[in-house]
């Protein structure tokens, strides 16, 4: 499985879209900053045909330290999550290498 890094995205924008390296880097940084600011405000970020990024509020709960077995309170927190669009799910499932595997 190959991981795509920021540098790979910059390279793509440079090679495929004709951006300069500086323009591509600035564009990505601005986009990521927009995503972060939107989620920090608790607002969902919907990208049509791709999916929705949003934040869930998790209530405090009682947990357990797996090493000691000691109970501890896990504080309330906000957790970002992604919900893919139907188009993205269908696209991923139609090109899945697992569809040829028989169990």
The domain tally of the chain equals: 1
Closest CA to 58 of 83, 85, 79: 79
Is the residue at 58 inside a domain? yes
Is the residue at 47 inside a domain? yes
Q: How many residues comprise the chain?
A: 103
pLDDT, tens only, 31-74: 999 999 999 999 999 999 999 999 999 999 999 999 999 999 99
Is the residue at 97 inside a domain? no
- Residue 91: CB atoms within 10 A of its CB come to 14
Is the residue at 81 inside a domain? yes
What's the pLDDT score for residue 95?
72
Interatomic CA distance for residues 85 and 93, integer angstroms: 12
Report the CATH number at residue 36: 4.10.520.10
Interatomic CA distance for residues 95 and 49, integer angstroms: 17
Is the residue at 70 inside a domain? yes
For residue 70, what are the domain limits?
6-90
């Amino acid at each position: 499985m190959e991981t795509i890094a920021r540098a790979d995205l910059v390279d793509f924008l440079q090679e495929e879209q004709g951006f300069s390296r500086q323009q591509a880097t600035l564009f990505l940084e601005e986009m990521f900053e927009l995503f972060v600011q939107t989620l920090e405000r608790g607002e969902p970020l919907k990208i049509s045909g791709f999916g929705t990024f949003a934040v869930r509020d998790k209530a405090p709960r009682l947990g357990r330290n797996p090493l000691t077995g000691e109970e501890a309170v896990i504080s309330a927190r906000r957790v970002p999550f992604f919900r893919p669009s139907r188009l993205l799910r269908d696209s991923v499932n139609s090109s899945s290498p697992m569809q040829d595997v028989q169990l």
